[in-house]
Amino acid sequence: MTRSLPRLMIAMEFPSLLGGEQSLLAVARALRSRFEFLFAVPPGGALEEQLIRDRFRLVPFSWRDDQGKRKSDEELLAAWHSLLATEKPDLLHANSLTLARFFARHRDQFPIPITGHLRDQMRISKKAVEDLQHLDGLISVSDATRDYYVQQGIAPQQIQRIYNGIELDSHVVRTDLRSELGLNQQVKLAAQIGQVCLRKGQDLLISSWLKLLPDFPEWHLVVIGERYSGKQESRDYFTGLVKELENGSEDPRVHFLGYRTDVRELLPQIDLLIHPARQEPFGRVLLEAAAAGQAIVATSVGGTEEMLEGERSVKLVPPDHKELLIEACRDLMADATLRNKLGQAAQGRIADLFLLGRSAEEHHAFWSSLLCPRSDP
């Protein structure tokens, strides 16, 4: 019996629903009439819940044991052999570099095409570079990310750049953010959105915000995101943010909202997105904010300059440059006309270059080129 659609199995590393997972899910929704998607997902998280809501097939698959320790390659291989024998996918895609490296190490044990996603910029060993060349292809989320790995030794022809895409559809606003925070409707809101970690630069933002406070009494800052790492350095990082606020002002006007599932509903309610990341391959929150027509201050790192043009659709500053970050924020916080101009330009650029339809078509072409017709026994 010949299948009507090729079956793609997507391996997910974490149960969380962050930018990388959201971007892959968006592509899967757009392509579900052309591929049959099956997701191997660690159970018990927001990702599993979203897959159920989207009515995708999923199988629980944990890369770690009950104590949180990563399983051995031997254990994982046995589980994957069983899973593939049962589900018989036509192609396997690893949605992170770590998983791509696992499958690449054991490429000779899998009889189907295997691809991987490069969503982060991480130093890798010469052995990892050699292993990754055995995959049938890699997708990078930006030219900057592709170049980063080419410089480490991966062959350029091994990597295809496919930008993440987004839709410009409007979202029904169910939550009045200002009312939720007990603020009046005249208050202006700046926001930082992303995982709470050194890479995202919340420390730079907080120290800059304390300098801006005296001149902008009508502004509040919301920090949306969660600390996922359990390492002591990550716990200390968050504790340091809170202490700096407590020591820096009696009323810092900063609200930590934690992880939110309604970010795209909240974005139209903010007045400025501040994104001081030290590394950003191709930030989904920047896509979402630009699609919502919001003014953005961001750092000139990774793929951000590919997404948005400095001074035309975004205020760009070098990473870890506090004074320039303060200056850029000051310019936009003081000028509603400039905020509106940058937001409209950002939205137009997304509409021209980064819509989901284009990204989905490029993913379809990439995966389809690796598939061979096959029949079930």
Architecture of domain 7-165+356-368: 3-Layer(aba) Sandwich (3.40)
- Region class of 52: left (phi > 0), else alpha (psi between -120 and 50), else beta: alpha
Q: Which residues contact 212 (CB under 8 A, 6 or more apart)?
A: 219, 326, 329, 330, 333
Model pLDDT, residue 175: 84
Model pLDDT, residue 168: 87
Model pLDDT, residue 301: 97
Number of Cβ within 10 Å of residue 56's Cβ equals 18
**Domains 7-165+356-368 and 177-353 equal at CATH topology level:** yes
Model pLDDT, residue 376: 45
CA neighbor of 289 nearest in space, from 362, 344, 329: 344
**Phi, psi of 294, rounded to the nearest 5 degrees:** -95, 145
pTM, two decimal places = 0.93
Q: How far is CA 231 from CA 15, 118, 227, 244, in A?
A: 18, 24, 10, 20
Query: At how many degrees (to 10) do helices 322-333 and 336-353 cross?
Result: 100
Structure-token match 């919301």, residue found: 222
The ranges assigned to domains in the chain are 7-165+356-368, 177-353
33, with CB counted inside 10 A (0-12, 13-18, 19+), is: exposed
**177-353 maps to which CATH number?**
3.40.50.2000
Mean pLDDT of residues grouped by 10 in the chain (377 residues)? 85 96 98 98 96 97 94 97 97 98 97 97 96 97 98 97 90 85 97 96 97 97 91 90 91 94 94 97 96 97 96 97 98 98 97 97 98 57
Tallying the residues shown for the chain, one arrives at 377
Model pLDDT, residue 250: 87
Structure tokens at 370: 């690796």
Compute the CA torsion angle 10, 14, 17, 22 (nearest 10 deg). -30
